[in-house]
Structure 1
Amino acid sequence: MKYTRSDFPEGFLFGAVGPTDLATGLDMSRFSVRWIDILPDGRATDADALDRFEKRIDQVLAHDLRPCVLLDHAELPPALSDIGGWRNREMADYFAQFAEAIVARAGDRIFNISTSGLSTEQPGDPRTEARRLHHQLLAQGSARQAMRSYGMTNLGAEILLPDPVMAEVTFNKRYPELLLGRLEIHLPENWQNDFATIAESIDWCGVTMRKGDDLDPLMHIALEDTEALPFFMTLATGTDLDPAHYLDTVQKTLARDFPLRGAFIQSGNTVAVEVLQVTLKRGNQPSPWVRSKEGLHAHWNLVADIGGTNTRLGVVTDGELTDLRKHPTGTPTDLQDALHSLCDEIGTEPRAVVAAGAGPVQNGTIRLTNANLDLSETELARATGAHHTFVINDFTAAAWSVAEINEDNVEVLQGEASPPLGTRLVVGPGTGLGVGALLYSEGHFHTVSGEGGHMGLSPRHFDEVEVFNAARRIAPECFFDDTLVIEAEMFVSGTGLPILYHAIGMTEGQTNTSTRSAKDILQAAQDGSDACAVKAARMFTEHLGAIMGDLAVALVPTGGVFLVGGVAEKNRWLFGQDFLRAFNAGGRFDDLRRDFNLYVSEQDEFGIVGANNFCKNALAR
């Protein structure tokens, strides 16, 4: 039978798979883009490969065709095969990064985009098969979530024939009993929870037909369960010179009320495509594709620095802080409301959220000791819709704040003007005493945070013995057993300085020493109006310098030692010769200590800067 455009529904689209110039006169051109080409190591993009991909998209558009892209993961980047391939759950995140790279570069010029078809008919070790299938499904769901976070629409999934099992997984969002009976005991732990991601919606479904394929099982599932989800069919005709069989198949499918919206021809013979072009020139061709003028929205992340009094929320676009909001920390509900409001104002969900606060992190939950609340990564995801959520200790963020620091952001206390590349130590006397480090290895930073603020301090001079003895009466629980060793934070912090001041007052016979804030004590020490405050400031300075020097010897931070936080920022006068003398006093290791580069960080909002740097690193892994 001879066909024209008039024999097909209005707006029905025809396309070709393969070279763009063969699709001239049709409506669509579809091609695959391989993960291994765009991210050769599975993680970092190849700029030249992305340029070639973008050029191909533009070539399709130059022929007045709709670009259709298939994300191909048939061949894994070797580096990812080395870590277990699809048996490794991390593959899902790596594949989502691949999808993001494609959409970020040319998503505004892509008509539709789909993920490869999956098969359950690969015999072998059941455990390997179960993990491979589950993690591939998780990867495809993660990729759709990542692409939607950019505002990308018209996302599809391919169904292979004959494989009705995968059709049921795609449409019903669960494993059918037949599959579970064979593989359930080998699926990953808590696999059911992953269906929240696997079930990320599709806007259309693709199916490839070859001679002899039976469409009936898929048609039954599709008509019953998808509420007329649009389908695009790819007909693989081999070397057949006559496209009549191709068009007959399309017509028969349409006649059965199958929701078919377009069809591609995939032929090994160019004549078949050329004949199809001539055939379809007759009749009215669908209107050209009009792309949205708005395009895709800017991708953004949300970073939070949660303090005992205030919470700072930062909006990060293209890696740079573009907006900063300040809210009272309040209750968990107050925090969730602030997150909701910010996301609603922007109008889209963030790709990732990182929240930093003072407190221990366990199993994705942080207990904020200075705010009396718990915050989990699950709650962050629920409040913001973000696909990646992280809760981190405040000194994990502090350590990351110096990852990209340069000479414009520091005051030099000792050493080189610009911090060299290498392991970096961060110490912050604030409300408490925080310690963090970035270990530099093989070209990358790796964060290390701990409880260095609770290391022990002991008297440095004979006249301090009485002070430590007095402090035992004020805070006995903070001493190490029956020694004169006290937690460093109990003297060297905003919380500890009043304890130190009170203990000094007791040694001076002041039985009714007034309670003073750290700010008042330091002010009185600076202007010399209170002898006890002067001695407290001197001990604070020397013990801080000494403990920082000890930590530096332990880590050998060739990239520098950094002071961060409010005390360092507002009281630079504390870090003069007495501080340096204590830092460099190391006995036989005096020279080693003098060789360390020592700085005060002058970055505004170092907690937000650090959370952002952590986020960039976590998403790039």
Structure 2
Amino acid sequence: MKYTRSDFPDGFLFGGVASAETANGLDMYRIPIRWVDIVPDGRTPDIGMLDTYERRVDTILELGMRPCVTLESEVLPDALDDLGGWRNRAVADKFVNFAEVVVSRLGGHMFNMAPKAGFLPDQRLATRPPEFRALARSVHHHLLAVGQACAMMRSYGLKNVGVDCSIANPGFVTVLNAIFNKHYPEDLLNTFGPHLPEGWQKDFEEITVKVDWCGLSFEDDARRDTLNLLKCIVRDHTGTVPLYIATCPASKERFAAHLDALIGAANESLPVRGAFFACGDESTSDSLLSLVTNGKQPAPWVRPTGGLHAHWNLVADIGGTNTRLGVVTEGELTDLRKHPTGTVTDLQKALHSLCDEIGTQPRAVVAAGAGPVQNGTIRLTNANLDLSETELAKATGAHHTFVINDFTAAAWSVAEIDEHDVEVLQGEASPPLGTRLVVGPGTGLGVGALLYSEGHFHTVSGEGGHMGLSPRHLDEVEVFNAARRIAPECFFDDTLVIEAEMFLSGTGLPILYQAIEMTEGRTDAATRSAKDILRAAQDGSDACAVKAARMFTEHLGAIMGDLAVALVPEGGVFLVGGVAEKNRWLFGQDFLRAFNAGGRFDELRRGMNLYVSEQDEFGIVGANNFCKNALAR
């Protein structure tokens, strides 16, 4: 039977999967983009290949066709195969990164885009439990990657996001069940269920995604009951979701059979909106072009302008009193909001509200707070609340979420620091590249470090603020003895060694001051805040405050020098935080003498670069630097 466009529903689209230069006259053209071509080492995009694909897309646009892309992952980069391939959950993240590279470069040119979810291995090939485990995890992690990639595309503002499934693969029912029905088939679970990764059920929140269309790729003669198969797929899985068919008829006769099936689908009111043909011979190609040039043409595709949102990340610095939320667009901080730190629910509402205001989901969220991080959850010491990466994902829809210690963020704040962001206390005017040590007396005493190795920084987390502090001079022995009566739980056994934070912080300075008062016979003095003590020390109105400030300065300088000797940070030692920022007078010659007093290592200490960081919002800066590094891995 000879068909024309008029025999098909209005707006039905015909596409090709052949050379763009010979496909003129079609409505759309599909480009399969292979992961291994774009990111051959699994990490770094090949800019030359991206240029090549962009030129192909430009050619398609010049010919008046709609460019369509499928993201192919049948062949993995060798480096990811070496990690176990799809058996390794981390490979799902790498696939999303590959998809993002393509979206950010080509997304604004596309009519539609979809990850391909049809290459899955034949489950009938598994005969032993080890094979069951490998296959089950590969299938699950691949489907997770497909769902996460679709969510990422939407976060860029793409409106025509789909999935593409190969009907020729025996695993296609598994794919359709997972994506559209939120479960695996019973026969698969009976065999492979025990071998799926722990907590696999929760992943369906990401696997089962909203799609704008579904692609179904048929082999030419693998299934001759195409119409009945389409009816079953629509009834059992896709429902009203628009379908696009792709096939490669080997002959003019097979091409006619496929057209018969498409007309049958229209008569059955199935939502088939278009078809791609990879023509196997010249006569079939001629038949396709004859068809598409006869009859009413569909409306031309208008390429969207400004349709893609610039990707953005959300960074948070959560303190005991205030939480700062930063919007980072293309690596730069573009907006900063401040909220009172309340409950987890309060924080989730603030995050959700910000995402609603922007209109898209962030690519990543990093939240930094004071407290230890365990299994993706941080217990915020000063705010008395727990925050998890899972909760961040629910509140924002971000694919990547990280909770980090506040001094992990503080350390990362100096990763890109230069001479414009520092006051030099000792050493070179501009911080040299190398390992960097960060110390911050604030509410507590924080210590962090960035190790520099093989061209990259790596975070070192620790609790340096709880190192031991002991008397430096004889007249301090009485002070430490008095402090034992104030905070006995903070001393090391029965010694005069106290946790450094209990003197060298906003919380600890009042303890130090009170202990000095006790040695001076003042037993009824009112408790003073750290701010009041430092003000009285600076103007000389209180001798106990003057002594407290001197001890604070000398002990902080000494402990920073000791830490520097342990680490030998060639990239510099940095003071960060409110105390350093607001009380620069504390860090004069007394501080430097204590920092450089190292006995036989005086010369080593004097040769170290010592700075005060002058960055605004160093916690936000550090969270952003951490985020950039984490996403680049």
**TM-score, normalization: structure 2?**
0.95
Identify which of 327, 342, 345 aligns with 2:354. 342
Distance in 1 between residues matched to 2:174 and 2:314, nearest whole Å: 39
Q: CA deviation at 1:337?
A: 2.5
Distance in 1 between residues matched to 2:211 and 2:339, nearest whole Å: 37
Partner of 2:148: 142
Identify which of 144, 163, 172 aligns with 1:157. 163
Distance in 2 between residues matched to 1:270 and 1:530, nearest whole Å: 97
User: Match of 2:557, as an amino acid?
Assistant: G
Partner of 2:619: 607
2:74–2:119 CA contact under 8 A, matched in 1: no
1:506–1:513 CA contact under 8 A, matched in 2: no
Q: CA deviation at 1:264?
A: 0.9
The 1:212/1:394 distance shift into structure 2, 3 A limit, reads: closer
The 1:270/1:577 distance shift into structure 2, 3 A limit, reads: farther
Partner of 2:110: 110
The 1:82/1:119 distance shift into structure 2, 3 A limit, reads: closer
Distance in 2 between residues matched to 1:242 and 1:279, nearest whole Å: 15
SS at match of 2:42: coil
2:143–2:175 CA contact under 8 A, matched in 1: no
Identify which of 190, 193, 197 aligns with 1:184. 193
User: Match of 1:570, as an amino acid?
Assistant: K
CA deviation profile, 1:164-209 (whole Å, cap 9, x unmatched): 3433333212110011112111111111111111111222111222
Distance in 1 between residues matched to 2:450 and 2:222, nearest whole Å: 60
Correspondence list, 1:19-418, <5 A: 19-116=19-116, 117-121=118-122, 123-124=125-126, 125-162=131-168, 163=170, 164-209=173-218, 210-213=220-223, 214-215=225-226, 216-238=228-250, 243-418=255-430
Identify which of 596, 599, 606 aligns with 1:587. 599
Q: CA deviation at 1:240?
A: 5.3
2:324–2:338 CA contact under 8 A, matched in 1: yes
Count of residues paired in the alignment: 621
Identify which of 470, 488, 496 aligns with 1:484. 496
SS at match of 2:360: coil
SS at match of 1:389: strand
Q: CA deviation at 1:315?
A: 0.9
Distance in 2 between residues matched to 1:237 and 1:221, nearest whole Å: 21
The 1:223/1:513 distance shift into structure 2, 3 A limit, reads: same
Distance in 2 between residues matched to 1:256 and 1:341, nearest whole Å: 44
Distance in 2 between residues matched to 1:543 and 1:266, nearest whole Å: 76
Distance in 2 between residues matched to 1:601 and 1:75, nearest whole Å: 47
Distance in 1 between residues matched to 2:73 and 2:513, nearest whole Å: 65
Partner of 2:608: 596
Q: CA deviation at 1:595?
A: 2.1
SS at match of 2:451: strand
1:459–1:465 CA contact under 8 A, matched in 2: yes
The 1:536/1:212 distance shift into structure 2, 3 A limit, reads: closer
User: Match of 1:33, as an amino acid?
Assistant: I
2:230–2:265 CA contact under 8 A, matched in 1: no
Q: CA deviation at 1:239?
A: 6.1
User: Match of 2:175, as an amino acid?
Assistant: M
Q: CA deviation at 1:271?
A: 4.6
Distance in 2 between residues matched to 1:558 and 1:53, nearest whole Å: 44
The 1:167/1:384 distance shift into structure 2, 3 A limit, reads: closer
SS at match of 2:246: strand
Distance in 2 between residues matched to 1:165 and 1:452, nearest whole Å: 51
Partner of 2:12: 12
User: Match of 1:111, as an amino acid?
Assistant: F
User: Match of 1:185, as an amino acid?
Assistant: P
User: Match of 1:369, as an amino acid?
Assistant: T
Identity, % of aligned positions: 69
User: Match of 1:121, as an amino acid?
Assistant: D
Q: CA deviation at 1:291?
A: 3.2
Distance in 1 between residues matched to 2:574 and 2:251, nearest whole Å: 69
User: Match of 2:221, as an amino acid?
Assistant: K
CA deviation profile, 1:408-453 (whole Å, cap 9, x unmatched): 1111111111111111111000011001111122222111221111
SS at match of 1:238: coil
Distance in 2 between residues matched to 1:465 and 1:236, nearest whole Å: 88
Q: CA deviation at 1:118?
A: 3.2
Q: CA deviation at 1:242?
A: 7.8
**Structure 1, 445-454 or 223-232: larger mean CA deviation:** 223-232
1:24–1:63 CA contact under 8 A, matched in 2: yes
Distance in 2 between residues matched to 1:242 and 1:78, nearest whole Å: 38
CA deviation profile, 1:19-41 (whole Å, cap 9, x unmatched): 11121001001111111122222
Asked if residue 443 in structure 1 is aligned to residue 455 in structure 2, the reply is yes
Distance in 2 between residues matched to 1:520 and 1:128, nearest whole Å: 64
The 1:168/1:328 distance shift into structure 2, 3 A limit, reads: closer
Distance in 1 between residues matched to 2:473 and 2:222, nearest whole Å: 92
**TM-score, normalization: structure 1?**
0.97
User: Match of 2:122, as an amino acid?
Assistant: E
1:22–1:273 CA contact under 8 A, matched in 2: no
1:16–1:22 CA contact under 8 A, matched in 2: no
The 1:119/1:78 distance shift into structure 2, 3 A limit, reads: closer
Distance in 1 between residues matched to 2:282 and 2:11, nearest whole Å: 25
Distance in 2 between residues matched to 1:556 and 1:185, nearest whole Å: 50
Distance in 2 between residues matched to 1:149 and 1:445, nearest whole Å: 29
CA deviation profile, 1:339-373 (whole Å, cap 9, x unmatched): 22222222222222111111122222222111122
Identify which of 508, 512, 525 aligns with 2:537. 525
Distance in 1 between residues matched to 2:504 and 2:548, nearest whole Å: 10
CA deviation profile, 1:267-297 (whole Å, cap 9, x unmatched): 2434532332133211111011123344112
Distance in 1 between residues matched to 2:69 and 2:517, nearest whole Å: 75
SS at match of 2:275: strand
Distance in 2 between residues matched to 1:344 and 1:363, nearest whole Å: 29
User: Match of 2:425, as an amino acid?
Assistant: L
2:86–2:138 CA contact under 8 A, matched in 1: yes
Distance in 1 between residues matched to 2:177 and 2:499, nearest whole Å: 60
User: Match of 1:23, as an amino acid?
Assistant: A
Q: CA deviation at 1:120?
A: 4.5
